[in-house]
Amino acid sequence: MSGEPIYGLSDWGTSRFRLWLVDAAGNVVGEKRSNDGLDASRARGFQATLEEHLAALGAPANLPVIICGMAGSRQGWVEANYVAVPADLKAILSGAVRVEGTERDVRIIPGLSQAGRLANVMRGEETQLLGAMLARNLADGVVAMPGTHSKWVELENGRATRFSTYLTGELYALLASQSILRHSVRDAGTSASADHPQFAEAVALMLSGERMLGELFAIRAAMLLEGLSPEGAASRLSGLLIGAEIAGAKSRHRGRVTLVASGAMAALYGKALALARIEFTGVDADEAVRKGLFVAASTVWPSQQGHRL
Amino acid sequence: MSGEPIYGLSDWGTSRFRLWLVDAAGNVVGEKRSNDGLDASRARGFQATLEEHLAALGAPANLPVIICGMAGSRQGWVEANYVAVPADLKAILSGAVRVEGTERDVRIIPGLSQAGRLANVMRGEETQLLGAMLARNLADGVVAMPGTHSKWVELENGRATRFSTYLTGELYALLASQSILRHSVRDAGTSASADHPQFAEAVALMLSGERMLGELFAIRAAMLLEGLSPEGAASRLSGLLIGAEIAGAKSRHRGRVTLVASGAMAALYGKALALARIEFTGVDADEAVRKGLFVAASTVWPSQQGHRL
């Protein structure tokens, strides 16, 4: 049974916008997904975009909303400064920034940063990470969050200590839609399959130490000379990239792995991790970010939850 | 002193078109460069495109023209089949295909192919390779031809035995103009410099065995957190890609290296090869392809040369 919404939770990224209304128990009572990422929203106004989606779900005018993701970047709505690692994830909760000039109480969660030679940043994944840690009671190990910019984070005693980023998803999209390989995967119109032999072969190749840059063109050549199918080409391309990511992350991070992914992504990474003989536990990516946002909201507005409970 | 043109020589690729008129001694007596690559030319017609450029140079109506590059691909003007390695480069000369239905004698040079697990193809570079071999009297060793799709070819006793392809140039262009890194390199408006410390550092990192996929995002993070300049970002991106190419090629091909490159590309690859402690001899890329085309033309139409000489 679901109750009245007490919070709006949003994961607002570069290319997509997601909004959930949740009740006091954390149950989803309304959901919106759209392509209103940063660029689209900047043109129309961030507040107008958010209010429109809230109105479509019939959200009350005083419903507080918490946001994670690129909406908190310099190019976003309001800049929420990074919290530097090593960091207790609770620091991101207390660091949420209030958006000025809105009647509604809207807060944006800061990202994580890592200075120096291994300079790195994340926005959005820190909230997903927090949700995954709570869902699995994690305090140590490695959390892998595949996506446009895949993040691998090391945890020690409940703190995020180091992380790395792989351009896997973005590179797949660029190669499949804009490079010479687009002819082989039908302009990104073909999906990769974890069960296609080309996927496993490509992952194994990358795990053996080969370099991805020298293997990409072979997809084109295999189509021309060996009749490689679009499904095979997409699966091979995916295997090369995911394999390269896992080979890189494996050499950098030690510990038991938690894979935060949903749907097709979970299947592809699950298969690749198995090929790499890396044991892992899975957490649904959507659930993780929602859980992280809910905990953040409950911390920022405890009275809301208390009042309803 | 230059004489009358006896051949038209063209390197006709996916994105660019180059045409030279040469006299009996191989001297250039006319030159055109344009962006009339495959896509532009297909729409207007290949013959019309070629004739327009020839007319702009005042070429005689009976001047024979020899072409290498993607104009000979399935998506090109007339398909010239591949010659399989191991191959004597002279085989590509005798395999030139006559374009039917044109009054002018136009021939297209076939590419090279490599079957099996290391499936690979090239079109255009085989002619550049032939020119480089003649220019340096090469029969053995490795010839590196950087570009959109960099090719590394092994030679044995004057024959091309194996080759590999790296998507270096295409990936640089995609990342610099379309990825999250475009903000760091000002939408590809900043050039990489071989003398920038970021270039050398990135090359060294790739030679040390790191994986490129996990280093790309660091450019963005270093801009946000460490104030990395656009010049530094472009040089770092170039160093990561060229370093990954050289690390890959080094593990695959053995032998003395000949680098076929011009201008900025020659400087970047020269520096990277030096960092990798790979000795090499340089050949100008334009000269190499022109020399290859000239030899091909002289083989196809020996009487032309004989007559004029």
Q: What is d(CA A99, CA B36) in angstroms, rounded to the nearest whole number?
A: 51
Q: Do A212 and B212 touch (CB under 8 A)?
A: yes
Topology match between the domains B7-136+289-308 and B167-278? yes
Q: What is d(CA B285, CA B258) in angstroms, rounded to the nearest whole number?
A: 11
Q: Is B1 exposed, middle or buried (0-12, 13-18, 19+ CB in 10 A)?
A: exposed
Using the Cβ of A220 and the Cβ atoms of chain B, whether some distance falls under 8 Å is answered with yes
Q: What is each CA distance from B309 to A100, B296, B300, in whole angstroms?
A: 83, 17, 16
What is the nearest CA distance from B33 to chain A, expressed in angstroms?
22
- Tokens 């929420």, residue? A80
Tokens linked to A136: 């699995």
Q: Do B174 and A178 touch (CB under 8 A)?
A: yes
pLDDT band per the 50, 70, 90 thresholds, residue B304: low
Architecture, CATH, for domain A7-138+289-308? 2-Layer Sandwich (3.30)
For residue B295, the number of C-alpha atoms closer than 13 Å in the C-beta half-sphere is 21
Exposure letters B16-43 (e unless 16+ CB within 10 A, then b):
bbbbbbbbbebebbbebeeebbbeebee
* Confidence (pLDDT) at A307: 44
**Domain extent listing, chain A:** 7-138+289-308, 167-278
Using the Cβ of B182 and the Cβ atoms of chain A, whether some distance falls under 8 Å is answered with no
Three-state DSSP class for A155? strand
Q: What is d(CA B10, CA B66) in angstroms, rounded to the nearest whole number?
A: 6
The string of pLDDT tens digits covering residues B247-300 is 999 999 999 999 999 999 999 999 999 999 999 999 999 999 999 999 999 999
DSSP-assigned beta bridge partners for residue A269: none
What is the nearest CA distance from B195 to chain A, expressed in angstroms?
20
Using the Cβ of A114 and the Cβ atoms of chain B, whether some distance falls under 8 Å is answered with yes
What is the nearest CA distance from B250 to chain A, expressed in angstroms?
11
The string of pLDDT tens digits covering residues A117-172 is 899 999 999 999 999 999 999 999 999 999 999 999 999 999 999 999 999 999 99
Using the Cβ of A145 and the Cβ atoms of chain B, whether some distance falls under 8 Å is answered with no
Q: Least CA distance to B73: which residue of chain A?
A: A224
Q: What is d(CA B95, CA A55) in angstroms, rounded to the nearest whole number?
A: 69
Q: Least CA distance to B168: which residue of chain A?
A: A213
* Confidence (pLDDT) at A117: 84
Using the Cβ of B237 and the Cβ atoms of chain A, whether some distance falls under 8 Å is answered with no
What is the nearest CA distance from B279 to chain A, expressed in angstroms?
21
Three-state DSSP class for A143? strand
- Tell me the residues of chain A between 72 and 91 that have a Cβ less than 8 Å away from chain B: 74, 82
Closest CA to B91 of B81, B76, B78: B81
The string of pLDDT tens digits covering residues A7-42 is 999 999 988 999 999 999 999 999 999 999 998 899
What is the nearest CA distance from B221 to chain A, expressed in angstroms?
5
The string of pLDDT tens digits covering residues A226-264 is 999 999 999 999 999 999 999 999 999 999 999 999 999
Domain B167-278 class, CATH top level: alpha beta
Using the Cβ of A216 and the Cβ atoms of chain B, whether some distance falls under 8 Å is answered with yes
Q: Do A167 and B216 touch (CB under 8 A)?
A: yes
Q: Which CATH superfamily is domain B7-136+289-308 in?
A: 2-keto-3-deoxy-galactonokinase, substrate binding domain (3.30.420.300)
Using the Cβ of B70 and the Cβ atoms of chain A, whether some distance falls under 8 Å is answered with no
Using the Cβ of A34 and the Cβ atoms of chain B, whether some distance falls under 8 Å is answered with no
* Confidence (pLDDT) at B308: 44
